[in-house]
Amino acid sequence: MHEMILWQVGNSTVHGTTLVMTWIVMAAIIIFVRLGVRNLTSGKPGKFQNILEWLVDFIKNLVSENMDYKKGSPLLSYLLTLILFIFFSNMLGLIPNLVGPFLHNVEFAKLNQIFGGPVLMSPTADINTTMGLATLTIILVVYLGIKHKGASYFRHFIEPNALFLPIHIVDILSKPMTLAFRLFGNIYAGEVLIAVILMLPGLYVFGGVIGPMPIWLGFSIFIGTIQSFVFTVLTIAYVAQAVAHDH
C-alpha cells in the first residue's frame, strides 16, 4: 500500500503517484499494441498481432451477444482500450519496484517518494481512476440512449409510472458508483494485502519464494483479469440496456 504523494496544482492537488503510474500503464499499452500492429498483415499474423486479434474478436463477440452489433461497433475502440487499460493497471500493482533505488535522490516531482515503495501501484487502486472510468461509462450510456432513441430515452425513467422516478434516478447513479467501487475495492484490497504480507517477519529470509506472497500474487492476477473483464462487460450491458428497443 502506497502513501499517496500529492502534487500541488494551484490551490488544489492531484495524486502524483496515480498519474505517474497511469503514464507508465499508457506507455506499456502503447508499446504492447505497437508490437501487435507493427507488421500488420492480412496473411499469417505474428504472435502479438494474434493476441490483439483474439482480443478484438473477444470484445466483438461480447458486444454482438449483448446488443445490436451495428449500434455497438463504434464502441469497439473504447471497449478495447478500456479492458486493456484496466488489465494493465491491475497488473502494475503486482510488479516489484525495480527503479526505486535509481530514483531515491530525485526530488523532481517527488519521484523519490512516488517510487519509494517495494512494488509499483495500480492506478485502479485510486478511486479517482475508477470513478473517472465509471463516469465515462455512464456518460456513454446516456449519450447513446439519447442518440438511438431520442427524447423517448427519458421515458423509461417514469415507467411503469411516475412514482418510479426516484428509483430510476438511484439506478442510474448507482451504476457508476458500483462500477467504480467494485474495481477500486478489489484492487486496493489486493495492494493492502501485499503490503501486509511484506510486513510479515521472516519473509525476506525466504526471498518471498515460498509462503503467502506467490499465492497472493497469483490470486491477484486472477482478480485483476476478472475485474477488467467485469468492468467491460458491465459497460457493454449498461449501453445495451440503454439502446435496446422497448418490447
Partner 1 sequence: MNPLGIGFAYTIAATGSDNPISFDLTYFAMIFSFLILVWFLAKYAWKPLMDMMEKRRQFIEDNLAHAEQERNDAEKIRLEYQEEMRQARSEAQSIIESAIKISEQQAAEIIVQARKENERMKEVALADIGRERDKAITDVKAQVADMSVAIAEKIIRQKLDMTGQEALIDQFIQEVGDKPC
Q: What part of residues 8-27 is at the interface with partner 1 (CB under 8 A)?
A: 9, 12-15, 18-19, 22-23, 26
**CA-CA distances (angstroms) from residue 184 to 64, 81, 176, 187, 214?**
28, 18, 12, 5, 22
Q: Which stretch binds partner 1 (CB under 8 A): 93-101, 112-120, 125-133, 226-234?
A: 125-133
Report if residue 48 touches partner 1, rule: CB under 8 A.
Answer: no
Instruction: Please state the closest distance from residue 45 (CB atom) to partner 1, in A.
Output: 8
Name every residue whose Cβ is closer than 8 Å to that of residue 11 and which is 6 or more positions away in sequence: none
Which residue matches cell numbers 462487460?
A: 233
Report if residue 194 touches partner 1, rule: CB under 8 A.
Answer: no
CA atoms within 13 A on the CB side of 34: 6
Report if residue 127 touches partner 1, rule: CB under 8 A.
Answer: yes
Alpha helices, DSSP H, located in 104-198: 111-114, 127-149, 165-198
Nearer Cβ to partner 1 (132/211): 132
Q: In this chain, which of 20, 24, 36, 115 binds partner 1, going by CB under 8 A?
A: 36
Report if residue 105 touches partner 1, rule: CB under 8 A.
Answer: no
Cis ω on the peptide bond leading into residue 123 (within 30° of 0)?
no
Q: Site map for partner 1, 130-149, x if CB under 8 A? A: -xxx-xx-------------
Q: What is the CA radius of gyration of the chain?
A: 21
Torsion 150-153-154-160 (CA) sign: positive
Q: Which stretch binds partner 1 (CB under 8 A): 28-36, 62-70, 151-159, 213-221?
A: 28-36
Instruction: Please state the closest distance from residue 80 (CB atom) to partner 1, in A.
Output: 6
User: Closest Cα to residue 122, out of 75, 185, 166?
Assistant: 185
The whole-angstrom separation of Cα 243 and Cα 153 is 8
Report if residue 188 touches partner 1, rule: CB under 8 A.
Answer: yes
Nearer Cβ to partner 1 (80/236): 80
Q: What part of residues 52-91 is at the interface with partner 1 (CB under 8 A)?
A: 52-53, 56, 76-78, 80-82, 84-85
Q: End-to-end alpha-carbon separation of the chain, Å?
A: 48
Q: Which residues bind partner 1 (CB under 8 A)?
A: 3-4, 6, 9, 12-15, 18-19, 22-23, 26, 29-30, 33-34, 36-37, 40-43, 49, 52-53, 56, 76-78, 80-82, 84-85, 123, 125-129, 131-133, 135-136, 188
